[in-house]
Amino acid sequence: MSYASRYFPNEPTAPKVVTESIPGPKGKSAIASLGEVFDNRCAYFVADYEKSVGNYIVDVDGNVLLDAYAQIASIPLGYNNPKLIEVAKSDKMTRAIVNRPALGNFPGADFEQMQRDLLKHAPKGQTHVWNGLSGADANELAFKAVFFNYQSKKRGFDKPFTKEEEVSCMENMAPGNPEIAILSFKKAFHGRLFASGSVTRSKPVHKMDMPSFAWPTAEFPAYKYPLEENEEANMAEDARCLAIVEDRLQNWKCPIAGVIVEPVQSEGGDNHASAAFFQGLRDLTLKYGAKLIIDEVQAGCGATGIMWDHERYNITPPPDLVTFSKKMQSAGYWFHDPELIPNQPYRQFNTWCGDPKGVILAAAICDEVVDNNLLEPLRETGDYFYSKLESIQKQYPKLISNLRGKGKACFLAFDMPSGSLRADFLGKMKLAGVNVGGCADVGVRLRPGLTFEKKHVDIFIAAMEKVLPTL
Amino acid sequence: MSYASRYFPNEPTAPKVVTESIPGPKGKSAIASLGEVFDNRCAYFVADYEKSVGNYIVDVDGNVLLDAYAQIASIPLGYNNPKLIEVAKSDKMTRAIVNRPALGNFPGADFEQMQRDLLKHAPKGQTHVWNGLSGADANELAFKAVFFNYQSKKRGFDKPFTKEEEVSCMENMAPGNPEIAILSFKKAFHGRLFASGSVTRSKPVHKMDMPSFAWPTAEFPAYKYPLEENEEANMAEDARCLAIVEDRLQNWKCPIAGVIVEPVQSEGGDNHASAAFFQGLRDLTLKYGAKLIIDEVQAGCGATGIMWDHERYNITPPPDLVTFSKKMQSAGYWFHDPELIPNQPYRQFNTWCGDPKGVILAAAICDEVVDNNLLEPLRETGDYFYSKLESIQKQYPKLISNLRGKGKACFLAFDMPSGSLRADFLGKMKLAGVNVGGCADVGVRLRPGLTFEKKHVDIFIAAMEKVLPTL
């Protein structure tokens, strides 16, 4: 019996759309009234999380949608998962909620075990974790670790700060606050605070009007599809992009202490790269003394059919830092080199230093994935999904192109001819009972939870077959 | 019957120290083993949060300490507060834990009421809230709102981004990413990410080796105590500091879009300022078109005997933004001008847009404070505490000086002659049964929860009387 059948006996067998538009009348009224207390301009609909179950999200109008977007790829195990409800109701969670500690100063007796439970699920080659609160936070904490390491190595790990450094950093000036950079890729998305925003390169609306650090970009490979038919061109593309990275590492106006990259650029359009590209990047970072940070915020936690997507590339040696959030319902960065623990206490520090609630949840989610062997059926579901989409792509070559993500479970995407057709498609898919999201200008990205099964794929495909002829 | 007596019938009547050092043998061993999975260098002791109750924290050695530090000022209502346990176990909280939404896109039907429950507790004059995850996050989100507002006003709120802006921001360059600043004060603490770190001016270890924005500082008043005897000098100090602010606003190399200030500089040494100073600041920000951001992360949520500390200054018009975190067990910023809602959707946006768990907790905490009228007895406790400390200051003038915070409930502080004597004092206070923390170089800051009562003050004072003669 499948996980969804066992855990969600009451999961609907099909979507049900009861209003002529989504949101329907109740949803429209709920959005309007929400607008008095919250920015409602991005609300697709108002959900009823009490009634949502498994792979189905229910809205306040009573519409029941198959959810292949899962809260921007952040719900791992379906709505109202009974195992997570058990964890949420546990005394351990209650204590974590009502006695949130300043973990750095007054860790609780149960915190060590929580960390160990989480560390069991570290990416291959990673042995440590530092806890944060969101993907942007995790990336910025990783940057701090990288900058501290770079400057401490330059200064000598056992050397104290100089007087000049101490005085200048209080004025936000060098040498205490050095000019030093993180390299990122065009179309990357790593968050929307100020340093994370500086490495994000997805859309102007994500970056406009914010002061930023003048850090360098390189180009992420833009492959031709299908991959099998374009091997030579795509290898040349890898080489072209790596040459740009090397140029930046050699010639940028200030030292580049780290390179951050997503294993799949998700917000930026579901852009994939080859094992050779990632290994080339690893080699270059080693050659030029920069740390390699892999941002697994969206692709990690099982989404691509293995626990951490970059593991499939056997990057050697493993990346220096790996960040996580979203499906982990928590955030932080994994690492393995003890030199990335700052050479003095209170450098990587803040009041909460993470959140035991999040650590408990993240460990419970990963345990659930492993204990139920969820990723093997997910990979099968993904292969099935891909083959169905491949047929549709052949059937509708003017509407669907660049199907990508093969072998990465349900972490699939395709392009549509224009942003307006894409918007039309997404809206009509909702009315056909399926919630699905876009990425970049014309992409459609499939981001269901880890509990998605072939029966859900069939429903998704049936909805597409209904919608595409109407576009 | 007092709140603590009603809610914590099992609260100890006195501290109990059972080991010769804190941490004792079990604590030392727990810290050592924690070090395998977490940076343990800042750990004072390992707590047993199952046994901690009310105003008392228990460690793994069985030491029972009166807690006047409360997780760096972040535990509002005592350990294992039964009302918060009820909230933590509620179905509403469980749903928020297991179905964490992308609030911007798919808000839940219950979210509007959660926001309204929270908004009831907004500072006077504030009508809106935007949710974040930590104090640093809240401040940076506030900066984004300020920068978006500043640039949109300059461009015209109804004007689209120009092509040049769109292209340049993707390269982290002006005009899309303008050079534009937030002014902060020397000794300020506003967090440790990159923009929040750029306005933090507390200690070099908080800032060293991070790239930062070259933003301006001004000086925060340094008053002479006791205030009653130094009115003239302190008025002159206000004028001197405001003149520096005006100079920066007039002459800084780039536009200053916002000014951020704590109502009490806490991490930086518990530095207070007058109503005249804050009003002067308000007037200058209005005169030069900068937004005034009050950082209530530490002083807010009732800590100083009123819900939001800056309210006592009747700043007119009210500050543009007020940030919160810590005792709110959540984070965000309050505001009232609808122009601070960005002129386009998806500008102030991220996957989670806050956390319903935090919103539920924050509202429940504030409700509890109001429903139980907790702040009136807290103010009385604080007056009592101050008078006791005043006597001690007279008795030990060489050890205790600059007692400050009068009239601000238990949000009190004093200085010691040196950092090493302060460290000695804090360590011996633990052995005398009281957990208390420092601030800046020689300060001792009292940061108990809102449930601190006269009987706790007596215990604190008795411990001081035991410790001070041994220094």
Q: What span, in angstroms and rounded, lies between the C-alpha atoms of B148 and B291? A: 12
Closest CA to B199 of B301, B288, B267: B267
Q: Any idea what the Cα angle at residue A64 is, between residues A59 and A66, rounded to 5°?
A: 115
Instruction: Decide if B323 contacts B331 (C-beta within 8 A).
Output: yes
Report A:60-89 residues touching B (Cβ under 8 A): 60, 71-72, 74-75, 79-81, 84-85, 87-89
Report B:84-143 residues touching A (Cβ under 8 A): 84-85, 87-89, 93-95, 97-112, 115-116, 119, 128-130, 133-137, 140, 143
pLDDT band at A385 (very low <50, low <70, confident <90, very high): very high
Q: Reply yes or no on whether the pLDDT at B378 is more than 90.
A: yes
Instruction: Decide if A210 contacts B177 (C-beta within 8 A).
Output: yes
Q: How many residues in chain A?
A: 471
Report A:165-194 residues touching B (Cβ under 8 A): 165-166, 169-173, 176-181, 186, 191-194
pLDDT in tens, A115-161: 999 999 999 999 999 999 999 999 999 999 999 999 999 999 999 99
pLDDT at B266: 97
DSSP SS3 for A41 = coil
- Mean pLDDT of all residues belonging to chain A: 97
**pTM of the complete model:** 0.98
Cβ-based burial of B232 (10 A; exposed 0-12, middle 13-18, buried ≥19): exposed
Structure tokens at B231: 């009115």
Residues 6 or more apart whose Cβ sits within 8 Å of residue A397: none
CB contact under 8 A, B193 and A194: yes
Structure tokens at A12: 């609907």
ipTM score for this prediction: 0.98
Q: How many C-beta atoms surround the C-beta of residue B391 within 10 A?
A: 12
DSSP SS3 for A218 = strand
Buried/exposed A110-133: b ≥16 CB within 10 Å, e otherwise: bbbebbebbbebbbebbebbbbbb
pLDDT band at B226 (very low <50, low <70, confident <90, very high): confident
Q: Domains plus CATH for chain B?
A: 1-54 (no CATH), 105-371 (3.40.640.10)
- Mean pLDDT of all residues belonging to chain B: 97
Q: Reply yes or no on whether the pLDDT at B153 is more than 90.
A: yes
B11/chain A closest Cα distance in angstroms: 15
**How many beta-carbon pairs under 8 angstroms link A with B?**
352
Q: What span, in angstroms and rounded, lies between the C-alpha atoms of B399 and B394? A: 10
Q: Reply yes or no on whether the pLDDT at A1 is more than 90.
A: no
Structure tokens at A183: 């390299």
pLDDT band at A411 (very low <50, low <70, confident <90, very high): very high
CB contact under 8 A, A39 and B104: yes
Structure tokens at B74: 């972040």
For residue A159, the 8-state DSSP code is P
Instruction: Decide if A103 contacts A111 (C-beta within 8 A).
Output: yes
Report B:344-363 residues touching A (Cβ under 8 A): 344-352, 357, 361
Instruction: Decide if A185 contacts A201 (C-beta within 8 A).
Output: yes
Q: What span, in angstroms and rounded, lies between the C-alpha atoms of A440 and A415? A: 10
Q: Which amino acid is at B421?
A: L
pLDDT band at B174 (very low <50, low <70, confident <90, very high): very high
Closest CA to B102 of A293, A404, A72: A72
Q: Reply yes or no on whether the pLDDT at A70 is more than 90.
A: yes
Q: What span, in angstroms and rounded, lies between the C-alpha atoms of A281 and A239? A: 10
Q: What span, in angstroms and rounded, lies between the C-alpha atoms of A33 and A23? A: 14
Instruction: Decide if B44 contacts B32 (C-beta within 8 A).
Output: no
Q: Any idea what the Cα angle at residue B289 is, between residues B349 and B140, rounded to 5°?
A: 30
Q: Reply yes or no on whether the pLDDT at A49 is more than 90.
A: yes
B144/chain A closest Cα distance in angstroms: 7
How far is C-alpha B299 from the geometric centre of its chain's CA atoms?
Answer: 5
pLDDT at B296: 98
Stated as kind and residue range, the H or E segment containing A272 is: strand A271-272
Minimum CA–CA partner of B130 in chain A:
A38
Best mutation target among B56, B106, B177 (most A Cβ atoms within 10 Å) is: B106
Q: Which amino acid is at A78?
A: G
pLDDT at A226: 87
Residues 6 or more apart whose Cβ sits within 8 Å of residue A203: none
Q: Reply yes or no on whether the pLDDT at A339 is more than 90.
A: yes
Q: Reply yes or no on whether the pLDDT at B431 is more than 90.
A: yes
Backbone angles phi, psi at A22, to 5 degrees: -125, 120
For residue A306, the 8-state DSSP code is S
Residues 6 or more apart whose Cβ sits within 8 Å of residue A18: A24, A61, A62, A63
pLDDT in tens, B4-49: 999 999 999 999 999 999 999 999 999 999 999 999 999 999 999 9
Share of chain B above pLDDT 70, in %: 100
Contacts of B325 in chain A (CB under 8 A): 351
Contacts of A86 in chain B (CB under 8 A): none
Instruction: Decide if A268 contacts A187 (C-beta within 8 A).
Output: yes
